[in-house]
Homo-oligomer: A and B are copies of this chain.
Amino acid sequence: MNRTPNLLEVAKAAGVSNMTVSRVVNNSGKVSDKTRQKVLKAIKELNYQPNLIARSLARKKTNILGLVVYSEKGVHPAFYNEIINGVQQGASELGYDLLIFANSEKQSYSDRITHSSFVDGVIFMGVKINQNDIKNVHEKGFPYVFVGKREIEGINPYFISPDYIKGTKMATEYLIELGHTRIGLIGQSRMIEPDYDKLLGYQEALYKHNLVYNPQLVFEESQTQLDGYNAMKELLKQKPTAVIINNTYSTIGATTAIKEEGLRIPDDISVIGFDDNQELNEQFNDFIGLELSTIRIPKIDLGRQAAKMTISLLEGNDVSQANFIDLQFIKNSSCKKL
């Protein structure tokens, strides 16, 4: 690998000083058109590209965003993937690249992030997040954003989260307006914040429409196909006319149970799902010939906004700490008016 040329060499070739070249490269300051042409020619001839490391050192800014995904066994949950793509897009649109921090046993993330000068800001993601990491960066005033709602004692962290409460409330109200009163909810969990918020939204909708909350219609901790299947089998004993299901895997299991019982969607039961796994969701719908109404989490947008928030923050703009992004309701043919 042969060396790449630097500013000085370009300057010599163009017969100007390095600063003039720098100005041309960065489009900053005043440069006469004539010299600019000379410089541009030299740049082209030498195939010059600025050395970003040197630039970063001088500017004290790398234009790189850090990304930390806390995950078990180093595996990113499939759910986060699309968000990460969004982060990348958002970052890219503003001229930033993305550095994925690898797990290191020797050093905590937060130290490496704040001290290494390699990233200008950081995005945290994941369920098993280390609260100390956030606390550290927060206290140091290092720009960060957490994806997902999170409460940490003592501080109000910057975060952006899907508004599960509002989203589920909206879906529930939709069903209520179609005349449903016995609405099941599969998958709420008191331990997982998003799931718990879904329950809250569900309850809010019932309350608003003077319907009584019936715990027998609510099933906890449904994550897998099998969970969804079992939950639905139980739920059907309660003769619901509609059901909202937590996640894609559960939905697959649950609709299978519905089929097995000889019931049809939406004639015998209305169904609304969450499309946390969009690809699978679409595949499955195609296959079953189902046109499921779903609550969509705009994951790309979520990631993109996380990136933009972080950049706003690191550029010194005011950013509010708690941010929510609306869920979308995709109306389809799996719900029937009673």
A159 within 8 A of B: no
Count residues on chain A whose CB falls below 8 Å from chain B CBs: 59
A60 to chain B, nearest CB (A): 8
Q: Decide yes or no: A283 and B1 within 8 Å by CB, A62-B53, A103-B92, A117-B51 being known contacts.
A: no
Stretch at the interface among A82-90, A126-134, A330-338: A82-90
Q: Which residues of B contact A229 (CB under 8 A)?
A: 287
Q: Do residues B99 and A286 form an inter-chain contact, with CB atoms below 8 A?
A: no
In the assembled complex, the Cα of A84 lies from the Cα of B80 at a distance in Å of 13
**CB distance A92 to B104 under 8 Å?**
yes
Choose the segment among A71-79, A145-153, A184-192 that binds chain B (4+ C-beta atoms closer than 8 Å).
A71-79
CB proximity of A164 to chain B, nearest CB, Å: 23
Closest chain-B Cβ to A84's Cβ sits at a distance in Å of: 8
Given contacts A92-B102, A98-B99, A141-B1, contact A52 B118 (CB under 8 A): yes
- Measured CA separation A104–B95 after assembly (Å): 8
In the complex, whether A111 has a CB less than 8 A from a CB of chain B is: yes
User: Per DSSP, are chain A's interface residues mostly helix, strand or loop, or mixed?
Assistant: helix
Q: Which residues of the other chain, B, contact A51 by a CB distance below 8 angstroms? A: 115-117
Residue A96 interfacial (CB < 8 Å): yes
Bound: A144/B54 CA distance, A: 23
Chain B residue numbers with a CB within 8 Å of A104 are 92
Q: Contacts A1-B141, A287-B226, A287-B229: A88 and B100 contacting too (C-beta < 8 A)? A: yes
Q: Which residue of B lies closest to A256 (CB)?
A: B287
Report if A64 contacts B (CB, 8 A).
Answer: yes
**Is A49 interfacial (CB-CB < 8 Å)?**
yes
Interface residues of A in 29-53 (CB under 8 A from B): 47, 49-53
A102 to B287, CA, bound (A): 34
Taking each of A82, A101, A115, which has the highest tally of chain B beta carbons within 10 Å of its own beta carbon? A115
Q: Is the CB of A64 within 8 A of B97?
A: no
Contact A97 B98 (CB under 8 A): no
Report whether A111 and B49 are in contact in the complex, using a CB–CB cutoff of 8 Å: yes
If the complex has contacts A52-B117, A52-B118, are A96 and B102 also in contact, measured as CB distance less than 8 A?
yes
Interface: A280 (CB within 8 A): yes
Q: Which A residues between 135 and 166 are near B, CB-CB below 8 angstroms?
A: 140-142
Show 27 A/B contacts (Cβ-Cβ < 8 Å), sorted by A.
Answer: A2-B140, A4-B114, A4-B117, A49-B111, A50-B115, A50-B116, A51-B115, A51-B117, A53-B57, A53-B62, A64-B99, A74-B85, A74-B88, A76-B85, A78-B279, A81-B81, A89-B102, A91-B102, A92-B103, A98-B100, A98-B102, A99-B99, A224-B286, A225-B283, A225-B286, A249-B283, A252-B287
Beyond A47-B115, A78-B81, A249-B283, 4 extra complex contacts between A and B, CB < 8 Å:
A51-B117, A52-B117, A81-B81, A89-B102
